[in-house]
Amino acid sequence: MDKKIIEKYAPDPENLLFILHDIQDSKVDHYLSFNDLQEVAKYLGIPVSKVQGVATFYSMYSLEPRGKYIIRVCESAPCHVMGALDILKEFKELLGLDKIGETTKDKLFTLETSACLGVCGVAPACMINDVVYGNLTKEKIKQIIDGLRKGGSNV
């Protein structure tokens, strides 16, 4: 990890969430290693157990390596009503994954579920890294995945 990411922030424990976000975003495999947590703890002057407690509390952080693209399918009620379960099934099939939380062998995609993403107007929806995709249909999912597989940019 590049120390500059941490040092962008003042060594104040209040900046912990920001720092964890930035470290995770800076890595292709989108996760926080124990070493990262230790570095952060040292920099902020707080126990590493506290840092890990925080990192494991919030669902946007992961302590396991993940794919280049993190697909977070919303499964809250509004999306559920609009067919989120089918969407999830479709993603699983397309990516050849059995379980939520798994990463494809080529390390390209990790499939996760999420609570409401705040874009319910276009339910069913998902987020892939920072980008929202709404009004999902089987066709649209295929298009998105194909696009990303071909190395298209995420936007």
Partner 1 sequence: MSSTVTIIVDGKKVEVPMGCNIIEAAEKAGIEIPRLCYHKDLTPTGNCGVCIVEVKGQKGYKRSCTTPVTNNMEINTKSKEIIEARKTVVELILANHPDDCLTCVKNGYCELQSLAKQLGIDRTKIQKVLNRKPIDESSLSIIREPDKCILCGRCLRACQDIQTVFAIEAMGRGFETEITTPSGKMAESVCINCGQCISVCPTGALHEAIEIDKVWEAINDPEKVVIVQEAPAIRVSLAEEFDLPAGTNLVGKMYNALKMLGFDYVFDTNFTADLTIMEEGSEFIERLHKNGPFPLITSCSPGWIKFMETFYPDILEGVSSCKSPQQMFGALSKTYFAKAYNIDPAKIVTVSIMPCTAKKYEARRPEMRSSGFQDVDYVLTTRELVQMIKQVGINLASIDDSQPDDLMGAYTGAATIFGTTGGVMEAALRTAYELVTGKALESCDIKEARGFEGVKEFKVNVAGTELSCAVAHGLGNARKVLDKVVEAKRKGQPSPYHFIEIMACPGGCVGGGGQPYGSTIARRMERAKGLYDEDGGMKLRKSHENPMIEKIYKDFLEKPLGHKSHELLHTHYVKRDSLL
Partner 2 sequence: MYRTHLLFVIDQNTIDAGAYAVKYEFEKEIKSANLLEEVKISETGSVNLIGKGVIILVFPDSVLYTNVSVNDVKEIVNEHLLKGRPVKRLVLSESFDIPNITITPTRETLKKQNRIVLERAGVINPESIEEYIATMGYEALGKVVTNMKPAEVVDEVKKSGLRGRGGAGFPTGLKWSFTAPLSGEKYVVCNADEGEPGTFKDRLILEGDPHKLIEGMAICGYAVGAIKGYVYIRGEYTLSIQRLAKAIRDAKEYGFLGNNIFGSNFSFDIEIRKGAGAYVCGEETALIESMEGKRGHPRAKPPFPGQVGFRNKPTVVNNVETLANVPNILLNGADWYKSFGTKNAPGTKVYTILGKVNHPGLIEVPMGITLRQIINEYAGGMAPGSVFKAAQIGGSAGALISEKMLDTPLDYDSLGEYAAVLGSGAILILDQKAEIPDFLRSVMKFFAHESCGKCSPCRIGTKILLDRSIDLYKRKLSEKDWEDSIKIAKTMEKASFCALGQSLILPISSANKYFREELKDYFA
Does 54 participate in binding partner 2 (rule CB under 8 A)? Answer: yes
Taking the least distance from each CB to partner 2, the nearer of 79 and 145 is: 79
The token duo for 61 is: 């952080």
Binding mask 106-135 for ligand FES (x = CB under 6 A): ----------xxxxx--x-x----------
DSSP 8-state code for residue 38: H
**Least CB distance from residue 32 to partner 2, whole Å?**
11
DSSP 8-state code for residue 103: B
**Amino acid identity, residue 108?**
L
**Least CB distance from residue 91 to partner 2, whole Å?**
16
For 144, other C-beta atoms within 10 Å of its C-beta total 21
**Structural contact between residues 124 and 79, judged by C-beta atoms closer than 8 angstroms:** yes
**Which of these segments, 30-38, 56-64, 90-98, 100-108, binds partner 2 (CB under 8 A)?**
56-64
**Structural contact between residues 115 and 72, judged by C-beta atoms closer than 8 angstroms:** no
Q: Quick one: what does residue 34 bind among ligand FES, partner 1, partner 2, none, with the CB cut-off 5 to 8 Å set by partner type?
A: partner 1
Question: Which candidate, 114, 29, 37, 115, places its Cα nearest to that of 71?
Answer: 114
**Which of these segments, 26-34, 86-94, 96-104, 124-132, binds partner 2 (CB under 8 A)?**
124-132
